[in-house]
Structure 1
Amino acid sequence: MNLPRIRIHAALLLGSLAAACSPLTTFDALVPKDRGGIRVAKDVAYGPDPRQRLDVYAPRAASQRPRPVVVFFYGGSWNSGTRAGYAFVGRALAAQGFVAIVPDYRLVPAVHYPAFVEDGAAAVRWTVTHAGDHGGDRGTVVLMGHSAGAYIAAMLAVDPRWLGESRAAVKGLVGLAGPYDFAPFDVDASRAAFGRSPDPAETQPVTWAGVGDPPALLLYGNKDTLVRPRNSQALAARLRTGGVPVDLRAYAGLGHIGILLALARPFRGRAPVLEDVSTFVRRVADANQPAGAARP
């Protein structure tokens, strides 16, 4: 594949993507994928709705031990997105040695809060039940997301209402440019998704974050004008107040979409996003291994 052509097409996409987290299907089709990761299951149902489907990615290499599992929720202002545009994320994570789950979820205007959080919870419960079928460690799950997907991941990690017993499997949270403290709702996307909620504070991750939550890696670009860095800073502060380990990192020169694109092979030189995520996942996975056990 011609790398200069990829860069040109990606540059053309950036304008529209930066305006609103549009589906990345064209970008995903153009960028080269990590050969160390493959999709091992496609269009798997985790619920009855057509949007309640997911794909599974795993490393090509065999392992004698179950692998850490990462559930990745994409963004799109809760009103757009498809897992078909995120194979580059799934394969990148799988090439790092993880089983990666990329679910779709129901979108505004067909649904409103909390439906997309409920779908995220259903996808995680499916993961805890079935990750072992694909070589994953069902007891070591890290929730990860970008933008609106980071919101879903954060709510599932810090708010005990959603996952029930499956919450015990969640060992970490990775948020990329997530909105965690954005009430009152003053933009169209948040009003459409959350405006019907009688208690705006109840919808916010910062309301729930605190003692007993899993360790977090919160990443943002210092040039992000769509989801302001104060969201990550506020969630980090609330978690730290509760004694939760938090790694808060800002990438110089990256905007809202740039932090996501840095996961793709042609753009990893812009920021070590994939390296930082992988290091965090391995660290929390190692912390939950029995004494003397070797990581795959």
Structure 2
Amino acid sequence: MSESSAVRVDPSNERMLKAWNGDEGTLWAKRAQRFDDGVAAYRDTFFSAAGIRPGDRVLDVGCGAGQTTRDAARLATEGSALGVDLSGEMLGLARRLAEEERVPNVSFEQVDAQVHGFPDAGFDVVISRHGSMFFGTPLAAFANLARATRPGGRLVLLTWQPLRLNEWVTTFRTIFAAGREVPSVNLALSDPGETEALLSSAGYGDVRCTAVTKPMYFGQDVDDAAEFIVEQHGGRLSGLDEAARAKAVGRLRADLAEHQTDRGVFYGSAAWLVEARRP
């Protein structure tokens, strides 16, 4: 039995399992440090809202390679942090890094948080840095997480604001469309009113969405950033001839040069800091 087939997932999350336990997860594991560096500007805001105390039990949903889980564990010095994700490869990296960094009170499990049998009221804080936007059935998922949050416990999420407010997404999507129509995409949890209604229906209260904007890092220079972005998004150029692909990459490099600073290549990004409490 493969590792993928051993993971119990809701049918609505089968596609996510295939992606994150497959090529998508492989890329994110390979580039884990760069992905973490990309959103590093949000770290202090995120953990300040989480308010993790020394004795807390923390659940990190969609933890990827576990940077936020390890950070949470370091704050919960007398407690613990559990990171869950669908990607076996990223979780393997997360475990290795936790061991190398000597973070003893952290653990990782490959599960679907939408259906996993977490202990009732088992966590004081549930966090997710851009990992809670992929559930096939969000209401069921957040109801499961609410059940696992103790009364008075906290939920803190980072989710993206609409694409039009995220310069990095709109720029790269337009460039890699290479003159073709740019497909419309509605990001889950990008509408604060819908998010507040969803979390309230799932069993959370005192839901609040705060707009946060931060610069997002893509590389130390044009060459470094271009290599990373093409590796991540270059598949969108499939079907184009060599000249069209080269033209698109040339446009990318020119745009990256316009965003070069003395600290690296940065684009604007906009997220929601979502906070809620279990009654």
Structure 2 length as normaliser, TM-score?
Answer: 0.35
**More contact order relative to length (CA 8 Å, sep ≥ 6):** 2
The structure that is strand-richer by fraction is 2
Structure 1 length as normaliser, TM-score?
Answer: 0.34
> Rg: which structure is higher?
2
The structure that is helix-richer by fraction is 2
